[in-house]
Amino acid sequence: MRMWMTPPAMMCRKHLLGEHVECHMFLGTMIKNKSLKGYVDNNLFEMKSLFDRHQKLSDEMISRGYNHQSLIDYNVFLKAIDGYPAVIRDSKVDVDQSFNELKSRCISCGKK
Protein backbone atom coordinates (compact mmCIF):
# COMPACT_ATOMS: atom_id res chain seq x y z
CA MET A 1 0.00 0.00 0.00
CA ARG A 2 1.15 3.52 -0.68
CA MET A 3 0.02 7.05 -1.32
CA TRP A 4 1.86 8.47 -4.32
CA MET A 5 0.67 12.04 -3.60
CA THR A 6 1.16 12.82 -7.30
CA PRO A 7 -1.51 15.01 -8.92
CA PRO A 8 -4.20 12.49 -9.91
CA ALA A 9 -4.48 13.94 -13.44
CA MET A 10 -0.88 12.82 -14.03
CA MET A 11 -1.58 9.20 -13.11
CA CYS A 12 -2.44 6.36 -15.46
CA ARG A 13 -5.63 4.37 -14.88
CA LYS A 14 -3.81 1.55 -13.09
CA HIS A 15 -2.09 3.80 -10.55
CA LEU A 16 -5.11 6.07 -10.06
CA LEU A 17 -7.42 3.14 -9.28
CA GLY A 18 -4.72 1.36 -7.29
CA GLU A 19 -4.08 4.29 -4.99
CA HIS A 20 -7.83 4.77 -4.57
CA VAL A 21 -8.22 1.19 -3.34
CA GLU A 22 -5.22 1.60 -1.09
CA CYS A 23 -6.82 4.64 0.57
CA HIS A 24 -9.65 2.34 1.64
CA MET A 25 -7.12 -0.27 2.78
CA PHE A 26 -5.25 2.32 4.86
CA LEU A 27 -8.50 3.43 6.47
CA GLY A 28 -9.33 -0.19 7.32
CA THR A 29 -5.91 -0.57 8.90
CA MET A 30 -6.46 2.62 10.90
CA ILE A 31 -9.90 1.50 12.10
CA LYS A 32 -8.27 -1.69 13.39
CA ASN A 33 -5.57 0.48 15.02
CA LYS A 34 -2.79 -1.50 13.34
CA SER A 35 0.74 -0.15 13.05
CA LEU A 36 1.50 2.07 10.08
CA LYS A 37 5.04 2.90 11.17
CA GLY A 38 6.64 0.96 8.31
CA TYR A 39 4.62 2.86 5.73
CA VAL A 40 5.57 6.19 7.31
CA ASP A 41 9.24 5.20 7.62
CA ASN A 42 9.33 4.22 3.94
CA ASN A 43 7.73 7.40 2.58
CA LEU A 44 4.47 5.68 1.65
CA PHE A 45 1.77 7.23 3.84
CA GLU A 46 0.38 10.60 4.95
CA MET A 47 -2.31 9.96 7.53
CA LYS A 48 -3.77 13.47 7.78
CA SER A 49 -4.04 13.66 3.98
CA LEU A 50 -5.94 10.40 3.56
CA PHE A 51 -9.47 11.85 3.44
CA ASP A 52 -8.57 14.70 1.08
CA ARG A 53 -6.41 12.46 -1.08
CA HIS A 54 -9.27 10.00 -1.49
CA GLN A 55 -11.50 12.88 -2.58
CA LYS A 56 -8.99 14.10 -5.16
CA LEU A 57 -8.57 10.60 -6.56
CA SER A 58 -12.36 10.15 -6.66
CA ASP A 59 -12.83 13.48 -8.44
CA GLU A 60 -10.30 12.46 -11.09
CA MET A 61 -11.98 9.07 -11.49
CA ILE A 62 -15.33 10.80 -12.08
CA SER A 63 -13.77 13.28 -14.53
CA ARG A 64 -12.51 10.30 -16.55
CA GLY A 65 -15.97 8.76 -16.57
CA TYR A 66 -15.23 5.99 -14.05
CA ASN A 67 -17.96 4.85 -11.69
CA HIS A 68 -17.05 5.86 -8.14
CA GLN A 69 -19.36 4.84 -5.31
CA SER A 70 -17.04 4.15 -2.37
CA LEU A 71 -17.13 7.21 -0.16
CA ILE A 72 -15.12 7.64 3.02
CA ASP A 73 -17.08 8.90 6.00
CA TYR A 74 -15.22 11.89 7.47
CA ASN A 75 -16.31 11.06 11.03
CA VAL A 76 -14.99 7.51 10.68
CA PHE A 77 -11.72 8.94 9.40
CA LEU A 78 -11.43 11.37 12.34
CA LYS A 79 -12.16 8.63 14.86
CA ALA A 80 -9.56 6.35 13.25
CA ILE A 81 -6.84 9.03 13.52
CA ASP A 82 -7.31 9.41 17.28
CA GLY A 83 -5.46 6.26 18.25
CA TYR A 84 -2.16 7.19 16.61
CA PRO A 85 0.82 9.15 17.94
CA ALA A 86 1.69 12.53 16.41
CA VAL A 87 4.73 11.12 14.60
CA ILE A 88 2.40 8.93 12.53
CA ARG A 89 -0.48 11.43 12.24
CA ASP A 90 1.85 14.22 11.05
CA SER A 91 3.89 12.17 8.60
CA LYS A 92 4.47 13.54 5.11
CA VAL A 93 5.33 11.80 1.86
CA ASP A 94 8.29 13.30 0.00
CA VAL A 95 6.31 14.19 -3.12
CA ASP A 96 9.32 14.63 -5.43
CA GLN A 97 10.84 11.32 -4.39
CA SER A 98 7.49 9.59 -4.76
CA PHE A 99 6.83 11.06 -8.21
CA ASN A 100 10.31 10.07 -9.42
CA GLU A 101 9.64 6.52 -8.17
CA LEU A 102 6.29 6.44 -9.98
CA LYS A 103 7.83 7.69 -13.24
CA SER A 104 10.56 5.06 -13.01
CA ARG A 105 7.93 2.31 -12.64
CA CYS A 106 5.35 3.49 -15.15
CA ILE A 107 5.93 4.86 -18.62
CA SER A 108 2.30 6.03 -18.82
CA CYS A 109 2.52 8.10 -15.63
CA GLY A 110 5.87 9.48 -16.73
CA LYS A 111 4.35 10.81 -19.97
CA LYS A 112 1.51 12.78 -18.38
Domain that includes residue 22, residue range: 8-111
pLDDT for 112: 64
Name the H helices within 1-112: 13-31, 37-41, 50-63, 74-81, 86-89, 95-105, 107-111
pLDDT mean over 8-33: 96
pLDDT in tens, 42-95: 999 999 999 999 999 999 999 999 999 999 999 999 999 998 999 999 999 999
3-state secondary structure at position 54: helix
Percent of the chain with pLDDT over 70: 99
> Does residue 17 fall inside a structural domain?
yes
Instruction: Report the distance separating Cα 85 and Cα 66, nearest Å.
Output: 36
- Is the Cα dihedral 7, 13, 18, 21 positive or negative? positive
Total tally of structural domains belonging to the chain: 1
Percent of the chain with pLDDT over 90: 96
> Does residue 1 fall inside a structural domain?
no
